[in-house]
A and B are shown apart, each in its own frame.
Chain A
Amino acid sequence: MEAITITLNGREVSGYPGMTILELARESGVEIPTLCHDPHLAPIGACRICLVEDERSGKLAASCVTPLEPGMVINTESPKVVERRKAIIKLILASHPDSCMVCDKGNQCELRKIASDMGVGLVGFQKIPQLATIEEVNPFIERDLSKCILCAKCIRADHDLVVQGAIDYIDRGFASKPATLNDMPLENSECTFCGTCVAICPTGALMEKKRAYSGTSPVKVSTICPFCGCGCSINLEVKDNQIVRARPGAESAVNRGTLCVKGSYGYDFVHSAERLTSPLAKVNGDFEAIPWEQALALVASELGRLRRTYGPGSLAVLGSSKCTNEENYLLQRFARSVLGTNNIDNGSRLYSAASIIGLGAAVGFPGTTNHLDALEQSEVIMVIGANLTSSAPIVGYAVKRAVRSRGAKLILVDPQRTELASFSHLWLRPRVGTDMALINGMARVIVTESLLDEEFVAGKTDNFEALSKVLEEYTPDYVEGITSVTSEEVSRAARLFAEANVASIVYGTGITQHITGTDSVMALANLAMLTGDIGLRGGIFALQKDCNGQGACDMGALPNLLPGYQCVEDAQSINKFADRWGTDLPSDAGLSAIEMIEHVREGKVKGMYIVGENPALSFPNSTVVKEALASLDFLVVQDMFLTDTAKLANVVLPAASFAEKEGTFTNFEGRVQRVRKAIEPFGDSLPDSEIVLRLANSMGYPMPYSSLQQVMDEIRELVPLYQGIGYRDSETKDIYRAELDKDPLSKRRLFKGQFPSGFGRFHPVQYESPGETPSNGYNFTLLTGSILHHSGTGSKSSRSPRLSEFSPEAYVEIGESDANQVGINQGDKVKVISPLGEVIAAARFTDTLPEGVIFMPNSFPSTPVNQLFDIVLDPQAKTPALKTCAVKLERT
C-alpha cells in the first residue's frame, strides 16, 4: 500500500489510502473539533464542525468523511474555516437551551467545549423552540431531547455497536428526533439500558437518571466491571469518595465503548447501606461488631484448634471467582501452606469446571482458544447453550455485529428463543439437555461427507480413528430421535459449519451445568478440531459467569491443581512451590466445592473459610447446604454483605468492593486486566488480600509479601501463563507496568493451530440422557439461567438500587397453552415444586419456550431456585447439575 502525502497546516504528513483527513490529523497531533465523530462508528459527516479547507481550491470539506488525496494542502484553522465553524456552532446553539449552568453534563459537554474554544458566547440568532423533555419512569436513562443536536451518535451506537435497534430518527426536518418505535418511553421499547448511547452523547441530551446535577467529577479511574466474565473496561467517575458515574472504556479491545446495563448502572451496590462495616462475631445467636484484631485472633485460634485436633483435612477453603488473581493466589497459598490442605476450590466450579477439564484434555489449554476479535471475524458462528444477551452481553454484541455488518451466519442451538434467534441463519431447537447428541451428529456428517480439514486432523490431532468409530452410531435419524432436531437440519448445520473458512463456537452454562457437561465440551472440541477451527482461525469461546472465574482457576484455587494448572500430585510441581514457599505442601488432591459440603455432612470437614461466595444460594439443594454449613464447628465468611451464607457464620469479615482495591481480573478470553482503586474501603472493610495476609500473620505463618506487586511478581515467576505481565515500572506510581492490559495473549492462545502439547486429542464421547426428564407427576422441565439485570446469586445486583428497582423480583416464564392447562393466568403467583423443595414466583407468559418447559432466573436471593435441585455431579468436573430439573406447578 502506497502512502499518501499531504500538507497539513504547512507540514507534510503521510497516511494510507482510504484514511480520512481527520484520522491523519489526529494521528499527527492536529486537533480538529467534531461532534458526530467517534472512532468506533462509521463517519457520516453530519455536524460539519470538522470542516477544513483545501487551500488549492479553497473548497471546504468535512474532514471526517473526506479521504486523503495526494497533494492536498489542508488548513484546519484558516479564517474561512473558523468563520464557518462559528456559524455552525451558533446555529446549533440557536436550537439548544441556555441551561449550561444547571446541566449535569457540565464540562464534559462537547458542544459547550467547542463553543467556548471558539469564543462563541451569545448566539444572536432567533431561538428555535425546543422539543419537550420526555418523561421516563425507568431508573437508568433520562432523555432531554431539547439538548439533542442530531449527531446520530446514539442511533449509530445502537445500530452498529450494540445492534439493538431500539431507536432511529422519526419524522423530518425540524420535527425529526431520535425516537423508539411509536415514540414510546425507553422502558416500553427494545432498549436494554446498556448506557452506550449515554456515554457517547456529546451533549446533555442523554444522561444517567438519579444523578442529576452531581456535576463534573475531577477523578476518573479506569477499572474492570465486577459482573460477568466479559471483562469490560469501565471508567468510574469519583467525587467525594462516591462513585457518581460509570462509563465504558473506549480504548478497551473487549467492549470498545459499549457496556451493558449492569456495567453502566450496577456499580451502585458499592454504596449500599447493607455493606458490612466491621467484623462480626456470633454471640448467642446474634452478630456483634468486634474489632479486626479480635476477629482475626478468634478465626486464627479456631482454625488452629481444628487443625490440631482433627488434622488439616478437616478444614476447607472456598475462594471466589469474583476476587482478583492476587487474592485467589494468596488464598490458595494460605490453604496449602498455612492450613496445610488442598481443600480449596472456587465458585466457578458451579459452571466452568467442565471447560477446564474438557478443553484441557482435548486442546491442552483450559479455556477460550482465541480472542473476541477473531470471533467477530468468523464466517460462521455456532452459539450453543448460552443466552448471550443476558449472560455475556458484550459477546452478544460481537455476534450480532458479525451477522449484521459482516454477513456472518449464525447457527443458534437453544431450546429457548433467545434474542439471537432473530439474527440466526439456522436455529436448532433440541430437547433440553440433548445438545451432545446433536454435536456428535454434526461431527458424523462432517466425517461421512468428508468435510473435515484432513491436513489438520492428520497433522495436528490424534485419536481420530476412535472418534469416527463412536460417531458411526450418530446418524442424522438417530440424532433426530434424541434431539427432535430434524435430520435435515442437523446435516445443514454440519455443512454450514464445516464449509466456512472460519468458524467459531460459543458456549455457556447450557452446556456446562449438566452432569454430562465435560463430555459435551469435549464433543464441541471434537467438532472444532475436525474442521481445524480452533485458534489459527475461529476458536472455541467458553463463557465465564463471574468477573474472575478464569483467573481464580488460573491461580490454582482448585483442589487438584496448583497455580497455572500444575498438578498437586506431580512431585516436580509440588516441589517447585514447596521450595518457593519454604514449607511442606500436601500432595494429595483436595475436595471440590460440592464435595466439601458432602464431607461436612459426614462430619469430616469441621471448619470452613468462605471468601466471596454464597453457597447457601448458589449450590443445589440449599436446604441441605445450609444445614451442613450451620453444623460446622467453625465457619468464617468474608464478604461485602451479610449474605445467606454469612448469616450462618461464626465470624464474618467485611471485604472491600472491586472499586476499593487494586489487582487484576482475567476475563473469559484470558486477558489479564487491571482493577484499580477508585474509593476508600467502606467502613472498616478491607481488601480480601489484606485480610488473608493478616489472617496468616495471626496464625503465626506470615506470608512474605509487602505489596500486591510482589504477589504478581511471584505469580509471574511460577505461573507459565502469566509470564511477561505485571512487573513494576519504577517510573510510574502504578504497581504494575502500564502495558499490563496488552497482555501477550499469544501465550494463552492456540495461535497457528499449535497445541501446547503438539497435538489436540479427540475424545470420543457418548450421549447419555441428562436424567432430569419429567416423570412421576413432575410434568414440567424447569430451565434456570441468568437474566440481564442480575448476576450470580444476586448478592451484588439485588443491592444495586437501580437494577433492583427495574427488576425487583423473580418470575416464572411459561407458555400460554401450558399455563392454561394448569389454570394459571398472567401474573398469578405460582408454586414451583420439585421433590426437594418449592419456590413461589409470579407467572409471566412467553412465546419463547417449547411446550412443557418453564424458565426461572436464578439470581434473586428471595427466590432461591437452586433449592429445587438435588445434588448430582458431573463425575469428571464435579459440577452440580443446575440447569434443568423436573418440577410441577401449582397456583397459590
Chain B
Amino acid sequence: MDKHQETAEPDLKRIEEIVSRYRDQKWPLISLLQEVQEELGYIPPEAIRPIARGTGLFPAQVQGVISFYEQFHTTPRGKNIVKVCRGTACHVRGGRTILKIVKQNLGVEEGGTTPDMNFTLETVPCLGTCFLAPSMMVNKDYFGKLAPPKLKSILQQYGSPGE
C-alpha cells in the first residue's frame, strides 16, 4: 500500500520535488497536477500553494483548474477504483441493482472510500462497453455481463471488501 495513505500529512517534499521538475516548462499545470495525483493518489489542498509558486499562478487559479476537471481529486482515494456504469444500456439490464450490491459489498456510498483505503466507489455516465452491459471497471480492467453473484468474487480479487 502506498505510504501516503497511512499518514495524515501529505508529503510536501515529494510535491516540491515534482513541482521543481516542471519549473521551466510552459503551461505545465495540467501535466503537473496529473503527476502529483499519480504519485499521491490525489491532490492534497496543501499542494496548491507550492504548485502555484512553481508555476507562477495564483493559488486560487490552481484551485480553479483542479475543481474544474473531473479527473482531479482533492481527497485521498482508495488503492482500487471501482467504476460502475450508469449508462442507458446498463440501466435497462439491471445496472441499478449492480450498483446497489457493490455498495453493500464495499459498505460505502457513491464517491466514498472504504476505511481501509482499499476501494473507492464511483459511477460513470457510460463506460462505452454497452455490448457487455451491465458493466463496471476496477482500475483498468473491464467486467461485463455482470450478475449479482459475480460481484463478490470480482471485488475479492482486489483484496478484502471494506466490511
Contacts and interface: CB of A to CB of B under 8 A. Distances in A.
Interface of A: 159, 164-172, 176, 179-182, 189-190, 422
A168 B53 contact: no
B64 A168 contact: yes
A166 B45 CA distance: 16
Given A171-B67, A171-B68, A165 B60 contact: yes
B67 A165 contact: no
Contact of A165 (B45, B61, B68): B61
Interface in B113-136: none
Interface of B: 45, 48, 53, 57-61, 63-64, 67-68
Contacts, number: 41
16 contacts: A165-B58, A165-B61, A167-B60, A168-B58, A168-B61, A168-B63, A168-B64, A169-B64, A170-B60, A170-B67, A172-B67, A172-B68, A180-B60, A181-B59, A190-B58, A190-B60
Nearest to A175: B67
A877 to B, nearest CB: 40
B117 to A, nearest CB: 23
Nearest to B52: A165
A159 B48 CA distance: 17
Contact of B53 (A169, A172, A179, A422): A422
A87 to B, nearest CB: 27
B63 A170 contact: yes
Contact of B60 (A171, A172, A179): A179
Contacts of B45: 182
Nearest to A189: B60
Contact of B58 (A159, A172, A182): A159
A189 B57 CA distance: 16
Nearest to B49: A181
Contacts of B61: 159, 165, 168
Closest 4 A/B residue pairs (Cβ) = A165-B58, A168-B60, A168-B64, A181-B59
A170 B67 CA distance: 6
A189 B60 CA distance: 10
Contacts of A172: 67-68
A169 B67 CA distance: 9
Given A171-B68, A190-B59, 13 more contacts: A165-B57, A166-B60, A168-B60, A168-B61, A170-B63, A170-B67, A171-B67, A176-B68, A180-B60, A181-B60, A181-B63, A182-B45, A182-B63
A168 B63 CA distance: 8
A170 B65 CA distance: 8
Contacts of A168: 58, 60-61, 63-64
Contacts of A159: 58, 61
A182 B52 CA distance: 14
B48 A181 contact: yes
Contacts of A169: 64, 68
Nearest to B74: A182
A164 B67 CA distance: 20
Interface centre among B53, B60, B64, B67 (most CB of A within 10 A): B60
Contacts of B59: 165, 181, 190
A12 B45 CA distance: 55
A164 B61 CA distance: 11
Contacts of B53: 422
A170 B45 CA distance: 13
Contacts of A171: 67-68
A170 B53 CA distance: 19
A437 B141 CA distance: 67
The winner among B48, B59, B61, B64 for most chain A CB atoms within 10 A is B64
A182 B58 CA distance: 13
Contacts of B63: 168, 170, 179, 181-182
Contacts of A170: 60, 63-64, 67
A2 B56 CA distance: 38
Contacts of B48: 181
B109 to A, nearest CB: 19
B92 to A, nearest CB: 27
Nearest to A180: B60
A170 B58 CA distance: 13
A180 B61 CA distance: 9
B62 to A, nearest CB: 9
Nearest to A182: B45
A190 B52 CA distance: 14
Contacts of B57: 165
Nearest to A403: B56
Contacts of A176: 68
Contacts of A189: 60
A609 to B, nearest CB: 50
A318 B138 CA distance: 81
Residue with the highest number of chain B CB atoms closer than 10 Å, among A169, A180, A190: A169
A182 B43 CA distance: 13
Contacts of A182: 45, 63
A536 B48 CA distance: 43
A165 B60 CA distance: 6
